[in-house]
């Protein structure tokens, strides 16, 4: 079902400081900040050639990453995003197997303007999984 690793996301307490570290210390190709109020985060993507790193900072009062950062105040690995060709088919298969699709269970438009869903970390070995429909 899954294809390429689209991105690895890291939750950070200070987006600008984290981006500067990747740019200035690691010489990475760092994108512009993007506010995604409908997702409760601000993001910066870093292109590493074979995949991307998504830096995440909470945005607004009900950010889904607020509790994570309270538990991990220095930041930490937050989710993996894999590409899928058909997200509705993926939801059907996964829900049929008892996996929990977060939120209302429907795809939402993600940072790349494409449909995304999230799967509960407790169903995938303590790792939050994002699926993004690419190439349809
Ligand atoms: C748009 C953009 C994009 O790329 O397109 C994005 O990525 S947006 C990225 C931000 N959006 C999202 O993450 C949306 C989906 N996420 C969510 O709905 C939520 O973050 C959540 C339900 C996974 C967790 O919410 P929460 O932390 O407030 O809830 P709880 O505190 O009850 O957490 C339940 C249990 O899951 C654990 N837990 C929480 N977050 C994570 C995580 N990222 N990785 C692994 N485990 C995690 C907690 O430690 C806890 O474990 P224990 O019980 O053992 O203590
Ligand atoms: Co993501």
Q: Is the pTM of this model over 0.80?
A: yes
CB 118 within 8 A of CB 128: yes
Distance in Å, CA 27 to ligand 2 centroid: 22
Q: For residues 47 and 33, give the distance between their C-alpha atoms in angstroms, rounded to a whole number.
A: 13
Instruction: Tokens for 132, please give them.
Output: 């993004």
| Digit-coded pLDDT (tens) for 21-45 | 999 999 999 999 999 999 999 999 9
Task: Set out the domains of the chain in order of their start, with CATH numbers.
Answer: 4-133 (3.10.180.10)
DSSP designation for 113: S
- Ligand 1 binding site (Cβ under 6 Å of any ligand atom): 9, 36, 39, 41, 54, 56, 64-65, 67-68, 71, 78-79, 81, 102, 110-111, 116, 118, 121, 126-128, 130
3-state class (DSSP) for residue 117: strand
Supply the pLDDT for residue 17.
98
With 80 as the cut, is the pLDDT of residue 79 above it? yes
- Give the Cα separation of 30 and 92 in Å (integer): 36
Nearest CA, atom 24, ligand 1: 64
Report ipTM (2 d.p.): 0.98
Res. 111 pLDDT band, cuts 50 70 90? very high
């Amino acid at each position: 079902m899954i294809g390429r690793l689209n991105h690895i996301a890291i939750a950070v307490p200070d987006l600008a400081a984290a981006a500067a570290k990747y740019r200035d210390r690691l010489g990475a190709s760092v994108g512009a900040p993007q506010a995604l109020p409908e997702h409760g985060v601000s993001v910066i993507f870093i292109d590493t050639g074979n995949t991307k790193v998504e830096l995440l900072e909470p945005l607004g009062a009900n950010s889904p990453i607020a509790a994570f950062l309270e538990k991990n105040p220095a930041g930490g690995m937050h989710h993996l995003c894999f590409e899928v060709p058909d997200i509705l088919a993926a939801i059907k298969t996964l829900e049929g197997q008892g996996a929990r699709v977060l939120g209302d269970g429907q795809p939402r438009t993600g940072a790349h303007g494409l449909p995304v869903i999230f799967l509960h970390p407790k169903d995938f070995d303590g790792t939050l999984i994002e699926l993004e429909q690419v190439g349809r």
